[in-house]
Amino acid sequence: MPKRILMGTVVSDKGDKTVVVNVERRFRHPLLKKIIRRSKRFHAHDEGNTKKAGDTVWIRECRPVSKLKRWEVIEPEAGSNA
């Protein structure tokens, strides 16, 4: 089963080996037919403490690393259009 991969912006890098990533999704409201933005924050594991606030990152679902961390920061593969 493939893991989910999301793109978002780092909003906090204060934790050790942890970043908080804000992921925004856009969808059309079924009744109003208007584009709506919804966002959610994910705690992600950043092994090297390399990401800083404001960086755009890719995160991938993984096994639980701690109480809140179920995602990890990944580097997109070379040659992929992601």
Give me the domains of the chain, ranges plus CATH numbers: 5-74 (2.40.50.140)
Q: Report whether pLDDT(82) > 80.
A: no
pTM: 0.86
Residue 30: both structure tokens together: 């079924």
* pLDDT of the residue at 78: 54
| Percentage of the chain modeled with pLDDT above 70 | 91
pLDDT tens digits, 5-15: 999 999 999 99
DSSP code at position 1: -
For the chain, what is the mean pLDDT? Answer: 92
C-alpha–C-alpha distance, residues 20 and 44, integer Å: 6
When pLDDT is averaged across residues 19-33 and rounded to a whole number, the result is 97
